[in-house]
Amino acid sequence: MSAFHGKLLLIDNNEEFLKVVQKDGELLQTYPLMIQTSLAQGLKIFEKQKNVIRVLLVSSRVFKTQLEVQNFQSQMVNHPYLFISHRGHHPLQPLFNSDRTLTEPKSYKEIIKSVIELILKRPDWKNFEVSHDEKFVELKLKEEEFIGIGIDQFMLLPQSPFNVFIKIGKGNFIKVINAGDKGEEEVIDRYRQKGIGEVFLSLEEHGKYLTLCEKLSWKTIRSQEAPKEKLKTFFRLGNEVSRTMAKLGIVQENLDFAQTFMDQSINMIKNLKLRDGNLKNFIDDLQNSEHTAAVSFLAGILANKLGFDSAKSIKLVGMSALVHDVGLYALDPLADEKKLAPDSEIMLKHASYGSEILRKSGQFEDVVYLTVEQHHLRRRGGESSERSGNLNIIAEIIGVADAFQNSILAGGFDPNKLDQFCAIDLKRFSHPVEKALLQVLNRGSSKL
């Protein structure tokens, strides 16, 4: 795609200048140009194609009366335009706004330079609600610092908590929503109708977005006052987690395996015959927990990397990943594990409480009960080391995935956080688990 979104329309009857403009073939590829020599015909073209015309360029010479100038200016109040003044006196010259006038351009390059300086770099967010399509600012941003969300999966709120971008080319973005803007639904609908497939958030805000999705979904489903039909969220379990992990450098083959692994685990667990109310509700709500998705994703990848290849062993990892926080849910459905103090009553109790809930159900293997009970223990370092000599390897897989999600993915990705996690937190797990995660992250394992 071109680095420039849309086209320019030039209305000019200066034949010599038009010949000069049309010689600049390379620049015309980057900034496509349509040309009309008549004001009336040019405005007809504009009305038909205004959605794809980025800026209107109009020579002062095509205006014959003061009324034509005034009508043009009122018609263009919500669309970028630039007057062009060629050499020689023009009786209507005083009517043209000097801010919007380019005097005696000698090439198409000069026009583009003025368009960039006078229009594209002059955001007018005060009129954003009125005409955001025509008043965007093209931004050069690092693609690796942004994550796309399917436009049909994007959660809509009455007032946007986030800055939302549209991608229009490699490294080129348009900021279409400011944090604090209202009317997010109308903006997104307009771009959906234009065929845009994704919106983009920064890595930091994407983490906050996932956290908000999870909190709102849990709260909505648990509240009779706010039925989930009122919450406009369409995200699929694991959809955004997969995108985030791809940004971390995890290869697509591993992500595909993780998605299949998690889908199969969900199908297995949904077919269990359950009586316990808390356990049943927890499993019914699984599709709304991005934390569970992240843990299940990474657990699946690590299990594969560590050589878990039998159907039964994969089943045990998948089941354990999906239910590892059932005790937390039973104690407080809205609790946020990342914000709970390590010595809080809920944190201290939820692993053993969850294990007991599963044990009473009689629907799981013994290793699942053990895994859930041990998923916060660490084999190396930490206060629990003396108690974890017999730590189950699956508990380590779930534990490292759980810690990774809480430390790295929740609240916004930061490379410094990842470095710290690999240098400190990861050392609390066994060497095979540490090595496997470093390999998954493409960080090597030469020190192991």
Cα distance between residue 353 and residue 330, in whole Å = 8
Q: Per residue in 336-394, pLDDT tens?
A: 776 777 778 888 889 999 899 898 888 888 889 899 999 988 876 544 444 444 678 89
CB 247, CB 143: distance < 8 Å: no
| Residue 59 Cα distances to 11, 219, 310, angstroms | 6, 59, 74
pLDDT (tens digit, 9 = 90+) per residue, 314-343?
778 988 998 999 888 888 877 777 677 777
Model confidence pTM above 0.75:
no
In 181-310, where does DSSP find H-type helix?
184-193, 203-222, 239-247, 252-270, 277-284, 290-305
Phi, psi dihedral angles at 271 (to 5 degrees) = -90, 0
To 5 degrees, how large is the angle CA 35–CA 67–CA 49? 30
Query: How many angstroms separate the CA atoms of 308 and 89, rounded?
Result: 82
Give the start-end residues of each E strand in 37-77. Answer: 53-59
pLDDT at 181: 83
Grade residue 89 by pLDDT with cuts at 50, 70 and 90. low
Between CA 165 and CA 414 the distance in angstroms is 20
Output the pLDDT for position 385: 40
Condensed to tens digits (0 to 9), the pLDDT of residues 4-25 reads 456 789 999 988 899 888 887 7
Residue 171: name the closest of 138, 201, 149, 204 by CA: 138
* Token pair 């983490």: residue: 207
Residue 234, pLDDT > 50, answer no
Count CB atoms within 10 A of the CB of residue 186. Answer: 11
Regarding beta strands 81-85 and 53-59, do their DSSP bridges make them parallel or antiparallel, or are they unpaired?
A: parallel
Instruction: Give the highest mean pLDDT range of 59-68, 88-97, 126-135, 221-230.
Output: 59-68
Three-state secondary structure call for residue 176: strand
- Max CA-CA distance within the chain? 93
